[in-house]
Amino acid sequence: MTPDPDRKPTKSEMRVGGMVATAVLVALAVFTVVFVIMAA
């Protein structure tokens, strides 16, 4: 059975995607701050 490519994501899938995106943004921010502190 192949998944339907046109179906909308469920609320739990959207929540997980949002959490992953938030985690990536936080990691990038932390990396940037550490990089700036090391360069100073």
Mean pLDDT of 1-8: 74
How much is the pLDDT for 20? 97
How much is the pLDDT for 1? 60
Q: Please tell me the distance from the alpha carbon of residue 24 to that of residue 33, in angstroms, as a whole number.
A: 14
Cβ atoms of 23 and 16 closer than 8 Å: no
Q: Please tell me the distance from the alpha carbon of residue 7 to that of residue 27, in angstroms, as a whole number.
A: 31
pLDDT higher than threshold 90 for residue 35: yes
- 3 Rama sector, left if φ>0, alpha if ψ -120 to 50, beta otherwise: beta
Write the pLDDT tens digit of every residue in 17-30. 999 999 999 999 99
When pLDDT is cut at 50, 70 and 90, the band that residue 9 belongs to is confident
Q: Please tell me the distance from the alpha carbon of residue 40 to that of residue 34, in angstroms, as a whole number.
A: 10
pLDDT higher than threshold 70 for residue 5: yes
How much is the pLDDT for 28? 98
40 DSSP 8-state letter: -
